[in-house]
Structure 1
């Protein structure tokens, strides 16, 4: 009886190992197909530009003007699509993906200060007037104000 149980355990272990090997080889095969497609397929720059333009129009349409009072709270509306229009007052890591632009936006009788996390490689300087489109982050910027991750920034 022990022999039969031992045999069943060994067969079970071997079959489990072989199914994992099969899955791994299928995944490796799929990875190779993706790599082949990527390497052999040439992207069409015009199609890429058209797609980017569609995304930019969508972002602009869905974004609302950022409101400092609404966003400068302990739990800001994470992921809300906003636009910030104003003047750059400080720049960190200019030209590098992930640099921050501090933007002062006129709001009512005062100004709102936003940390705009720049996901472009464009360069900006203090005094540039921009419109940044992006999403509200859950954490504050380095200076303590609302943080916006911008995927589209237009210089005025």
Structure 2
């Protein structure tokens, strides 16, 4: 069946360029060899949390505290909770010791782990970079907090 489809694609594309034939052939071949993707909607919250932990890299203040931070990049931060503001969404500053000094980040936490924490606690948060706040502090929207 694949050979018939490939032959038909080759015949129909005689009017097109060779580059288009190659791209289409490769695209069809790749699509038939790929397993179906699992949607995030099909995962439990625990599975989503584990996926975030696997995909996150250590936050680096030098990389993030720039004019155009890498928005959406998944990161984790180890540090101490400072200046906790409780409300619908917990917000706090976290100070992290890094290779080139200290990093300070503003964390907006939608805590899916329901871990209790307070100012002064050592934690690891996982989330994504959302930009900077009004005073240019890098912001992270976090969904996972692990207390150390």
Residue 114 of structure 1 aligns with which residue?
Answer: 105
Provide the rounded CA distance (Å) in 2 between the counterparts of 1:118 and 1:69. Answer: 22
Give the TM-score normalised by the residue count of structure 2.
0.64
Alignment RMSD: 1.8
Give the TM-score normalised by the residue count of structure 1.
0.61
Residue 8 of structure 1 aligns with which residue?
Answer: none
| Cα contact 1:115–1:142 (8 A) shared by 2 | no
Residue 6 of structure 1 aligns with which residue?
Answer: none
Residue 13 of structure 2 aligns with which residue?
Answer: none
Provide the rounded CA distance (Å) in 2 between the counterparts of 1:87 and 1:81. Answer: 19
Change (3 A) 1:143 1:155: farther
The structure richer in strand per residue is 2
Residue 90 of structure 2 aligns with which residue?
Answer: 99
Runs of 4+ in 1 over 6 A off after TM superposition: none
Provide the rounded CA distance (Å) in 2 between the counterparts of 1:97 and 1:130. Answer: 20
Residue 66 of structure 2 aligns with which residue?
Answer: 73
| Cα contact 2:81–2:92 (8 A) shared by 1 | yes
Please list, as runs of the form range in 1=range in 2, the aligned pairs for 1:3-152 lying within 5 A after superposition.
51-93=44-86, 96-120=87-111, 123-138=116-131, 140-141=132-133, 143-152=135-144
Aligned length: 104
| Cα contact 1:100–1:115 (8 A) shared by 2 | yes
The structure richer in helix per residue is 1
The structure that has the greater radius of gyration is 1
| Cα contact 1:97–1:118 (8 A) shared by 2 | no
**Structure 1 residue ranges without an equivalent (≥5):** 1-49
